[in-house]
Chains A and B, each alone.
Chain A
Amino acid sequence: MNITEKILARASGKSTVSPGDVVFVSVDKVMIHDVSGPGVIAVFEKLKKAGMKIDHIWDPQKVWVTEDHFVPAADKVSAQNVVLLTNFTKQFGITKHFKYGMGQYGICHTLSHEEAMVLPGEVYVGGDSHTNTTGAMGAFAAGLGHTDVAYVLLNGKIWFKVPETLYFKINGTLPSHVMAKDLILKIIGDIGTDGAAYKTMQFGGSGISEMSVEERLTLTNMTTEAGAKSGIIEPDQKTRDYLAERGVTKYNEVHGDPDARYEKIFEYEASELEPTVAKPFSPENISVARDLSSVELDKAYIGSCTGAKLEDLRAVAKILKGRQVKIRTEVLPAAISIFKKAMDEGLLKIFMDAGVVVGPPTCGACCGAHMGVLAKDEVCVSTTNRNFPGRMGHVESKTYLASPLVAAASAVTGKITDPRDLK
């Protein structure tokens, strides 16, 4: 069995499972945020009206909650939703509530690894499609709809059809101008936005062993954009070190067997990868950055769970140090802990000196919520993960998805720019 099959077998109490089997698994962790939380509460309300008594949930210790999509409160309704969420966590005794503006807070998928909320070998589900992200820690991580999350909150279990696994073997080390974002955009361009529908995308090979944990998280984050059920990477020493830095050393790692089966194996040579950009209006609509050097931009957005981790900010700072941005540029670190580290390392000063606006941790404009959304016909280069029509604002705005290096280089020139071409 491969790692995904072994995790699902363990969690369903079976000695072996195969792709296509339907298994009823015990969930280790579940996450809701300020969009899915109110959705789940709506499901609870409906059940109560139908006569069901809901005075407790399955296990408040295994549930964690974030405020990230519409914070700082974008308007009255968003503010009300946060109150609703707070009342909910109080009522059911959920203590791991990362409240905006209090202690640690930030984007759910970032806190999942930054706070070591999800550990290798676990089954983790969340009320958000990018829950896949945390599979980079060696867990089975998948997004669910509100009704399914409500079900897990009440019962601690959920069924899955064991997915087939597509294995992406990356050989060699990524060149210094290439980031994980370029690799995953290339892969999505190759297999399409439904290329992994109801499948697991697993990444391995020397390119992954060499890659940092944060960069790996960019790969699994965007498996969602290929329609994947989950994305996963086997834990290794880098995973262990990352968790140890966060004070966690006890967990049950799961690894695939030597004869693990994969539906298909794709191989990529890291040295052949180029800075890659997804053009409007789909993550599969890719092009090498150099071919887009005539695209004029109005804005650069550096934020989100996939593009504002500490290493993403370091990459941006590497480009912006001693330079000025030519277009409106925003940097929104993905969690307040990352914001502080960026401050300690002097990155924020580099950003401010370059003329960048630094904002608070929030999903912000990535989902078009607030904090710099786009006007009609505005063109943006963004380190986020989706560029559907209207995703970041007006339905006639345009978003080009790119790595932090490309986004920063483009901010300097005002056009889409390969970092190698920056003078």
Chain B
Amino acid sequence: MEPFKKIKSIATPLDKVNVDTDQIIPKQFLKLIQKTGFGQYLFYDWRYEKDFTQKRDFVLNNPKFKNSKILLARDNFGCGSSREHAVWALLDYGFRAIISTSFADIFYNNCFKNGVLPIKVSAKLLQQLFEATSEIEIDLDKQTITSDKLSISFEIEPHWKKILLEGLDDIAVTLQHENSISNYEKLQAESKFKIS
């Protein structure tokens, strides 16, 4: 997983509430089993016409937001199906951070497992970000979002901060304890042997 330290980019304003994972990545793409390649299908129905040409009025298709690494969205982002493909698609497209007032629980956890930073801010601050026109910078270490006009600090659980900063996923964190796990397994195996 790529460590997350600082990112600077224009933010893509997706002015919708309750964006569910069916919209983020529709069901027909769930059959793909590799974790990459989903980016082209991100927000498929909102982004493309039937013939796969881009819908002009959808924000991701605005050239201004090309190469954006930050997504802004309204309340309850990521609700619905638990499909982790939703985070894979956002990441594969290029988003490293999503800012909203709230996130659905399973989606929120899935983000950290894949090196994506979900940030919760108040509705008032989110509105200011929606109105910002210049690039914004997210500094995870300092827990700040800044632009030429704004300076916001955000909260994050220390554990999540650590794994994002170091680019570890949960499994990598566990593997740091591999020796003690092996020892424990060895002891368990021996004790079973004695009983039988």
Contacts and interface: CB of A to CB of B under 8 A. Distances in A.
A198 B105 contact: yes
Contacts of A50: 172
Given A36-B82, A129-B106, A147 B171 contact: yes
A46 interface: yes
A388 B22 contact: yes
A151 B171 contact: yes
B35 A46 contact: yes
Contacts of A227: 76, 79, 104-105
Contact of A146 (B18, B27, B28, B84): B84
A200 to B, nearest CB: 11
A77 B18 contact: no
B144 interface: no
Interface residues of B, number: 39
B33 A390 contact: no
Interface residues of A, number: 48
B174 interface: yes
B170 to A, nearest CB: 5
Contacts of A143: 82, 106
A128 interface: yes
B102 interface: yes
Contacts of A386: 20, 22, 80-81
A171 interface: no
A194 B74 CA distance: 12
A78 B31 contact: yes
A47 B106 CA distance: 21
Nearest to A56: B185
Residue in B22, B27, B75, B169 whose Cβ sees the most chain A Cβ within 10 Å: B27
Nearest to B27: A368
B34 to A, nearest CB: 6
Contact of A229 (B27, B83, B105): B105
A134 interface: no
Interface stretch (A37-45, A175-183, A413-421): A37-45
Contacts of B34: 42
Interface of A: 35-36, 38-39, 41-43, 46-47, 50, 52, 69-70, 75, 77-78, 81, 84, 127-129, 131, 143-148, 150-151, 154-155, 193-194, 197-198, 227, 229, 282, 367-369, 386, 388-391, 395
20 contacts: A39-B85, A43-B35, A50-B172, A75-B31, A77-B32, A127-B82, A129-B82, A145-B83, A145-B106, A145-B107, A147-B114, A147-B169, A148-B110, A154-B171, A194-B18, A227-B79, A229-B105, A368-B26, A390-B23, A395-B45
Q: Which 7 pairs show the lowest CB-CB distances between chains A and B?
A: A147-B113, A145-B110, A129-B82, A194-B76, A395-B45, A145-B84, A146-B84
